[in-house]
Structure 1
């Protein structure tokens, strides 16, 4: 990802200040820094690539239009994530989409409960692809409020505090939603070995 040398050492907050001061290149740098993460979040919530791209684009358009309203009370990343979540919720309401697919991203330790690593072979690869499909469908079937917390914590690797700020929820609510989501996932995936066999 190319970063202009003049922006390399600037924080996101400094870039926003420059962008508010009519420097379009500064906002372009914000987009470059965050477009992949925002797209991954949108894809995780919407599960369709075309809609995720549209939602990510709308997120940055909304952010640009509202630059002057950014007060620095939260980090720029939290602000962008909040806009993206709201955009995804708007998209879901508008289209009433219920899809079963989920994003292809590296998983962390929580997902490895469901996706045990295996040596490569065509048979193992096919089985792993099938298992990943089961995981995607299971996550995709979660209620929106649980799915968004799973996406942010497990795929975006956001902290509980960052999720709390982004969703404007108490920390305890974020933790209880993640616990409830993981419990539902484990329950849904307990049958996985029988289904794959």
Structure 2
């Protein structure tokens, strides 16, 4: 068994959790069948490992689409608020290294890379918000264009007043209510 593969009992528990979430939120994946998603997951144990990491950090991953071109199922973190196990992070490693004191434990981009997921883009985030109401009390870092990052900034989003907002902040900033949401293709 490889380092990044769940034990059979862990896989079964995660698949049961994902199935229950899939069935509870059918509006997130109209036209998709759990049996096909499950078969794809079982054929990709490394992806199950990643989904387990998303789950244990509070992301509540769920299927939000299928890419007809690549034939991949797309999972996003669908927790009501930014995942608890991924908050109080600055944006990226450069920002983390620039802090002289009161450094957070990690950065959003480091943690996402270590988990094997991608930070949502602004477009991904806005699409997620069409499936429900997320980040009513928290906010989530999103991918930032290089021209903004080069100037020291980073972008984050949230939902307030029944509207999705995109904001900017210094990349080195971090807050207890700001984390990040990720995506995974299987």
| Interval containing the TM-score (normalised by the shorter chain) | 0.3 to 0.5
TM-score for the superposition, normalised by structure 1:
0.32
TM-score for the superposition, normalised by structure 2:
0.34
Query: Greater relative contact order: 1 or 2 (C-alpha under 8 angstroms, separation 6 or more)?
Result: 2
Q: Radius of gyration: which is bigger? A: 1
